[in-house]
Amino acid sequence: MTRVVVTDHAFGDVSDEAAVAERHGAEFAVHQCRTEEETVEAVRGADVAFVNFAPATRAVLSAMADGAAVIRYGIGYDNVDVAAAAELGITVANVPDYGVDTVADHTVACLLTLLRRLPRFDRAVHRDGWCAPRDLGSVPGFASTTIGLVGLGQIGLAVAKRLAPFGFTVLAHDPYADLDAAAAHGVRPSELDELLGGADAVSLHAPLTAETSKLLDAAAFERMREGAFLVNTSRGGLVDQEALADAVESGRIAGAALDVFDPEPLATDSRLREFPEVLLTPHAAFFSDSSLAALQRLAAEEADRALSGKPLRCPVR
């Protein structure tokens, strides 16, 4: 019998996924897997697996039915062994366009919050009753502020679009960028070192690959403009978290807003938890009622294609 499985999810319900299974007369099961062992048992014999953060390793993929499909809830798929999937004849798809606007909104909210020093002002008023704005240092106007975007895909471009009305200068580093799209959004392409040295705030929008793992390490923080800010709503592995903690502690980096971590959840003893200059959100940049509805609908539509023998809309391998 055809089998459809949700390995793990963070939604109120999985009615879209269940409806697809019912339409194809498939057995349907929902789990909250965390370990490889749990996931292997959950997907055994499955024709379609919806995967959120559960590890889709070679062992997991090997337990699935021949010609199965893995549908990753979201954009990134670094928890799926795509090389093993290709060897095993398993198709992997993601949902790259469900939450572009929501992630861009969250990113820009973080950038504006940091650049306007809102956390510092808030703490001063709570702690001391009041303060003179100048007491907390310089706050440049947005028209004299440069934002550097590392990655200029759909989300990076959506961030650039939202930044434009504020008058920022926007640089972007992306070897694969559409230069015409960059120009249309008022973005100037830049080499990474130029961007790091020239930006007052750096925002990450790159995929996590072997080449981008810990892209921002101790050496990169040394190349950044002193007193700059960092925002990461992309993948936690892009940042060397210990090096970032060192840079914040030394004052090299004035502050950061982090929505993603490596590993997740952020370790309870992480030094990043100690700094009031570091804003932490729980991998929530994607989260809104509309984005979650779109994510589940688009994932379910992809599963429907897989079960119908049709080409997938967004295969990654």
- pLDDT, one tens digit per residue, over 56-87 is 999 999 999 999 999 999 998 999 999 999 99
- The answer to whether the peptide bond before residue 265 is cis (omega within 30 degrees of 0) is yes
What total of structural domains would you count in the chain? Answer: 2
- Distance CA(154)–CA(242), nearest Å, equals 29
- Are both 54 and 121 inside the same structural domain? no
- Are both 119 and 193 inside the same structural domain? yes
Give the confidence band of 34 by pLDDT, cuts at 50, 70, 90. Answer: very high
Give the residue numbers spanning the domain of 159.
Answer: 100-280
Whole-number percent of the chain with pLDDT over 90: 97
pLDDT score, position 136: 85
| Per-residue pLDDT tens digits for 107-142 | 999 999 999 999 999 999 999 999 999 988 889 999
Does a structural domain hold residue 313?
no
- Are both 125 and 212 inside the same structural domain? yes
Write out the catalytic residue numbers.
Answer: 235, 264, 283
- Are both 144 and 108 inside the same structural domain? yes
Contact 201, 230 (CB under 8 A): yes
* pLDDT, mean over the chain: 97
For residue 144, what is the domain's CATH number? 3.40.50.720
Does a structural domain hold residue 218?
yes
Does a structural domain hold residue 317?
no
- Are both 131 and 256 inside the same structural domain? yes
- Are both 177 and 255 inside the same structural domain? yes
- Are both 107 and 130 inside the same structural domain? yes
Does a structural domain hold residue 316?
no
- Is residue 155 scored above 90 in pLDDT? yes
CB-based contacts of 186: which residues, under 8 Å, 6+ apart? 160, 164, 170
Does a structural domain hold residue 315?
no
| Per-residue pLDDT tens digits for 215-259 | 999 999 999 999 999 999 999 999 999 999 999 999 999 999 999
- Are both 274 and 208 inside the same structural domain? yes
- Its pTM stands at 0.89
Whole-number percent of the chain with pLDDT over 70: 100
